[in-house]
A and B are shown apart, each in its own frame.
Chain A
Amino acid sequence: MQVPSHVEYERATSVEHALALLGRPDHRVLAGGHSLIPMMKLRLAQPGVLVDINGLAELAYIKEQGGQLRIGALARHADLLESATAGQHYPVFHDAERVVADPIVRLWGTVGGSLCQADPSEDLSAVFAAVRAIAVIRGQDGAREVPVREFHLGPYETVIAPGELLAEIRVPITAGTGSAYEKVARRVGDWSVAAAAAVLQLRKHTIKEAGIGLTAVAAEHFVAAEAEDFLRGKPATEENFSEAATIAAEHCHPIPDQRGPEDYKRHLVAELTTRALRRAAGRAAARATS
């Protein structure tokens, strides 16, 4: 029987109330709880006080505003999967959400919680890194914006300080983009062995900007920066995708574990990056002609 250690429970009634409750370092935000509670049961997490934010409806939204896709931190995985707005601009979110955990867990797990958990194998971190999202973090002194590419400090560590709360994730909406996510897992609902997110902004046939995110292979900030640099300004061809994928595979740092040896994971990174780039380019082209 798995039992969390003793903990106190507070329920936030507003964002301001939550921020007031989050003052101490041993306070933890409780959103969907589908990462935190299992970690508490294993005693890997032993917070002193849980601040339940599930009642904060003002943080549960997905909308388009000011040329950005804005996702409230309390939006559930299922909300993102069902959001036509998100899927229209960034199908990569729907690709990824289809393979996050299982449908029941997706009803409770939150988008913000996934980012804050900062699990190296978590899918959305790579996706938000690929699309160059901005995290909006609120504190009692106001809000600050942090690029998702600077949000994670390492496994299970983020830039969020005691007394702060992730409020929103903003994704710039850019014309001419296509995006995709490709994942290999051992079984349905499992963590990635490896996965790749790709975003391509095309002008005619030239890559104006590329975003590549990698899951579960210890890529710095979940990004394949060298592969992005290689693609920028080049034609969107199969050869260039393949070369970029090889670069991505060389520059990540997969750790051999029960999900596979290092060379297998590098092989997956190359293959999945190629597939994601190919699909992203196809989607960008389809949008350009529609």
Chain B
Amino acid sequence: MKVTVTVNGTEYTRDVEPRLLLIHFLRDELGLTGSHWGCDTSNCGSCVVWLDETPVKACTVLAAMAGGRIVRTVEDLARNGRLDPVQQGFIECHGLQCGFCTPGMMMTARWLLDRDPDPAEAEIREVLSGLLCRCTGYENIVRSVRWAAEHPEATR
């Protein structure tokens, strides 16, 4: 079936099987490998992208369901060569070790900060509770998001 999805501002049309998952559409059909394919069971959250402004685990949604909709991936966080404050926060606070969970963490954090520019630490932990970091770097990830909240003008 033909599916047309607007990803990071560009419209893409591809002929895909209806069973194709969005994460594979992004990575294999479009070559956008920033979103990671992790647990494949909607537990780890490394595949989180935005679908019409709402974060979703892209391993648990079909590409067909995204047809006619707008997807935003981690590749779109930096704009015009300037990092998003969330990305800068992860650099400043050592918010990643191996980096595998980072795209999902950052897309979720950006969504949170757009809704609540000054989230308490408990709120950050709650929103990130469906994402796993196997380097166990949660402390620094939470600090990174707080850094972004405290530096909203950093780069955007």
Given that A33-B65, A107-B54 are known contacts, is A38 also in contact with B130, CB under 8 Å in the complex? no
Bound form: Cα–Cα A188–B67 in Å: 32
Bound form: Cα–Cα A40–B65 in Å: 15
Bound form: Cα–Cα A30–B56 in Å: 15
Task: Fill in one digit per residue for B66-98: 1 if any A CB lies within 8 Å of its CB, else 0.
Answer: 010000000000000000000000000000000
CB–CB A101/B130 < 8 A: yes
Pick the contact of B45: A3, A5, A104 (CB < 8 A): A104
Q: Which residue of A lies closest to B126 (CB)?
A: A103
Report chain B residues within 8 Å CB of A40: 19
Bound form: Cα–Cα A104–B19 in Å: 22
How many residue pairs at the A-B interface have CB separations less than 8 Å?
A: 72
Interface check A216, CB cutoff 8 A = no
Pick the contact of A6: B17, B55, B65 (CB < 8 A): B17
- Could you tell me the dominant secondary structure of chain B's interface residues? mixed
Q: Which of B1-60 contact A (CB under 8 A)?
A: 1, 17-19, 21, 40-43, 45, 48, 54-57, 60
Interface check B127, CB cutoff 8 A = yes
Pick the contact of B60: A5, A33, A188 (CB < 8 A): A33
CB–CB B42/A34 < 8 A: yes
Interface check A287, CB cutoff 8 A = no
Bound form: Cα–Cα A43–B54 in Å: 28
Report chain A residues within 8 Å CB of B21: 37
CB–CB A105/B18 < 8 A: no
CB–CB A4/B19 < 8 A: yes
Task: Fill in one digit per residue for A1-36: 1 if any B CB lies within 8 Å of its CB, else 0.
Answer: 111111111010000000000000000001001100
Report chain B residues within 8 Å CB of A246: none
Report chain A residues within 8 Å CB of B18: 7-9, 50
Report chain B residues within 8 Å CB of A262: none
A interface residues, how many (CB within 8 angstroms):
29
Bound form: Cα–Cα A112–B62 in Å: 19
CB–CB B60/A37 < 8 A: yes
Interface check A261, CB cutoff 8 A = no
Task: Fill in one digit per residue for A107-150: 1 if any B CB lies within 8 Å of its CB, else 0.
Answer: 11000000000000000000000000000000000000000000
Min Cβ gap B26→A in Å is 15
Bound form: Cα–Cα A27–B47 in Å: 28
Report chain B residues within 8 Å CB of A108: 54, 56, 60-61
Report chain B residues within 8 Å CB of A3: 19
CB–CB B54/A30 < 8 A: no
Interface check A242, CB cutoff 8 A = no
Interface check A102, CB cutoff 8 A = yes
Pick the contact of A104: B17, B41, B56 (CB < 8 A): B56
Q: Which residue of A lies closest to B41 (CB)?
A: A38
Interface check B144, CB cutoff 8 A = no
21 contacts between A and B (CB under 8 A): A2-B40, A6-B19, A9-B64, A30-B65, A33-B60, A38-B42, A38-B60, A41-B40, A50-B18, A50-B62, A52-B64, A52-B65, A102-B130, A102-B131, A103-B126, A103-B130, A104-B131, A108-B54, A108-B60, A108-B61, A189-B43
Besides A30-B65, A41-B40, A103-B127, 13 other A-B contacts (C-beta < 8 A): A6-B17, A9-B18, A33-B62, A33-B65, A37-B61, A101-B130, A102-B130, A104-B45, A105-B42, A105-B57, A107-B54, A107-B55, A108-B54
4 closest residue pairs by CB, A with B: A102-B130, A9-B18, A4-B19, A9-B64
Interface residues of B (CB under 8 A from A): 1, 17-19, 21, 40-43, 45, 48, 54-57, 60-62, 64-65, 67, 108, 126-127, 129-131
